[in-house]
Amino acid sequence: MAKTILSVDDSASVRQMVKLTLSGAGYDILEACDGKDALAKAGSAEIHMVVTDLNMPNMDGLSLIKELRKLPAYKGVPIVFLTTESDEGKKAEAKQSGATAWITKPFKQEQLLAIVKKVLG
């Protein structure tokens, strides 16, 4: 059975690129346009990994991680930031909040696939 990855980004083009990259490698992709949308969808399917942007309207990526980590089903789920941010302070805050990895946009498809394969096995 294919593993499901939740892609969270306010940019439709970024979500499309993530979906093309990961669905082409055999993963099922669930999409959300911001943190609130992602939280609403988080309980609708078994999610094996989350790829999220940091800066989004309604609920940013850090807040999303904090909320997901409160849910028992998300205690061990890998969460990867895919963002334009490269600030070390933000990276440290993300790690403290429970982020597994950090990819800076624009990203290379091989880079995303390598991280997904590494954290999902």
> pLDDT digits over 32-73, tens only?
999 999 999 998 889 999 999 999 999 999 999 999 999 999
Domains of the chain: 4-120 (3.40.50.2300)
What whole-number percentage of the chain has pLDDT above 90? 93
pTM: predicted TM-score of the whole model, two decimal places: 0.95
Residue 102 is predicted with a pLDDT of 94
Distance from C-alpha of 86 to C-alpha of 69, rounded to nearest angstrom: 23
